[in-house]
Structure 1
Amino acid sequence: MFERLKEDINSVFHRDPAARNFIDVLTNYPGMHAIWWHRISHPLYKRNWKWLARFVSNLARWLTGIEIHPGATIGRRFFIDHGMGVVIGETAEIGDDCTLYHGVTLGGTSWNAGKRHPTLGNGVVVGAGAKVLGPIYVGENAKVGSNSVVVKDVPEGATVVGIPGRVVTPKNKQANVDSAADEKRQAIAKKYGFDAYAVSEDNPDPVASHIGRILDHLHFMDGKVADLCREVKKMGGDVCDQEIPGLSIDDEEIVKAEKAAASDREKRHESFDPQI
């Protein structure tokens, strides 16, 4: 039991940078508390003590704001971030290493008995406010974008966004792309992970798409300028002695930008006059 508890807490550290220490996660993460309550109610439900199981799950909902039916099946290292408003139905099945954000519903589309809720494969991430409905299967390592409504099966490794949900990143996306610029962008995406609030590299955001193309163009032009400089040096020129500065995404730069933005917000707040 204690080994499973330690595993749950470690999974929070892997997926939430706001987690500070063991005691912080143990006492201040309602998503973890809801899962632990479910580990009490689920065996009761399986032993046909259904009223007691529902009473325990209802108590957990009152304490955490998260409703997990005691009949639901949940795998290891499951993490519910923030958690308020999450609903998981009776016949839902969740694999290992899955993550749900607040406002997520794993619901049914029928009043008929039997399997009527979704099944999530291992490593699935469901963004804030998303609804996954019906006895569908969401493939391993798939991602569901914020506020999406998914009513059809999702392929393994795909990203789904929109209402109704549509696949925007197939499993074998862009198999013919192997440029250095694409590898850099993939590394950055892996570092910062899937954005559960629908601002991800996989989403069809035209602004983000154009910025990505501009960065690719700049990277290409840098390479051409470097080639040109080498040829000029061969002819005895010295116009390229100074190295061209590169473009990079640095954590320190991001922190500085966030601090500057926070300072700007504080100044605007201080100058705000409610009588205007």
Structure 2
Amino acid sequence: MDKSVLFAHHARGCTIVASKICENVVIFQNVSIGANLKFNKSSNEWENVGNPIIAKNVIIADGAKILGPIVIGENSVIGAGAIITKNIPSNSVAYGVNQFKPKDKNYDLIFNPNMINPQKIIHTNKKLVTAFNQQNESHSGPI
């Protein structure tokens, strides 16, 4: 694994057994990278042998599973909770189960070295809670 790989949230809950992880990869919590073996009883052989290769500048979001002898292409983002068992082309956003679409070159998803100030997130969340509370107060009457 390249020493430039970053583990967001200290890699809590991650299990990582990859063939290779390239430069500038960012991995969030609860990610699994590993094998997707199956044994063929007819041929008496193991199939789908090998572990993923994660190319340069890939971001892997919370809870994603990347399994089997596959390649995640450069500059791709693997969405939260995605289950990926097939190759993902470079410059893609992968989501769901083996779904992907082209990545919008005008946006960085999930991670950018110039991360948002936490105080801005706290302020925005307080506004959301206030609006939510006001909406629920106006809709709820006496029981």
TM-score in terms of structure 1 length: 0.38
In the alignment, structure 2 segments of 5+ residues that lack a partner are: 39-45, 112-118, 135-143
Q: Is the 8 A contact 1:104 1:128 kept in 2?
A: yes
1:71-150 residue pairs with structure 2 within 5 A?
74-82=1-9, 83-89=11-17, 91-110=18-37, 116-150=50-84
Larger relative contact order, structure 1 or 2 (CA cutoff 8 Å, min sep 6) = 2
Distance 1:260 1:114 in 2: 49
- Structure 1 residues 141 and 113, CA gap change in structure 2 (3 angstroms): same
SS in 1 for 2:30: coil
1:146-161 residue pairs with structure 2 within 5 A?
146-161=80-95
Who wins on radius of gyration, i.e. which is larger?
A: 1
Distance apart, 1:254 and its partner CA: 7.1
In the alignment, structure 1 segments of 5+ residues that lack a partner are: 1-73, 174-182, 197-251, 268-276
1:15 counterpart residue number: none
Which of 96, 100, 107 is 1:167 aligned to?
A: 100
Q: Is the 8 A contact 1:128 1:146 kept in 2?
A: yes
Residue 93 of structure 2 aligns with an amino acid whose one-letter code is: T
- Structure 1 residues 266 and 132, CA gap change in structure 2 (3 angstroms): same
Q: Is the 8 A contact 1:141 1:156 kept in 2?
A: yes
Name the count of aligned residue pairs. Answer: 120
- Structure 1 residues 114 and 152, CA gap change in structure 2 (3 angstroms): closer
Residue 195 of structure 1 aligns with an amino acid whose one-letter code is: I
Distance 1:113 1:76 in 2: 31
Distance 2:123 2:12 in 1: 31
Give the strand-richer structure, 1 or 2. Answer: 2
Which of 124, 135, 143 is 1:257 aligned to?
A: 124
Distance 2:73 2:102 in 1: 13
Q: Is the 8 A contact 1:92 1:106 kept in 2?
A: no
TM-score in terms of structure 2 length: 0.69
Distance 2:48 2:93 in 1: 28
Distance 1:109 1:116 in 2: 8
Distance 1:109 1:256 in 2: 43
Residue 15 of structure 2 aligns with an amino acid whose one-letter code is: V
Residue 139 of structure 1 aligns with an amino acid whose one-letter code is: G
Percent identity, aligned pairs only?
20
RMSD over aligned CA atoms reads 3.3
- Structure 1 residues 169 and 114, CA gap change in structure 2 (3 angstroms): closer
Distance 2:132 2:8 in 1: 26
- Structure 1 residues 253 and 88, CA gap change in structure 2 (3 angstroms): closer
CA deviations 1:60-111 (Å, max 9, x no partner) are: xxxxxxxxxxxxxx0131011112110111x531000001111111110127
Distance 2:49 2:57 in 1: 22
Give the helix-richer structure, 1 or 2. Answer: 1
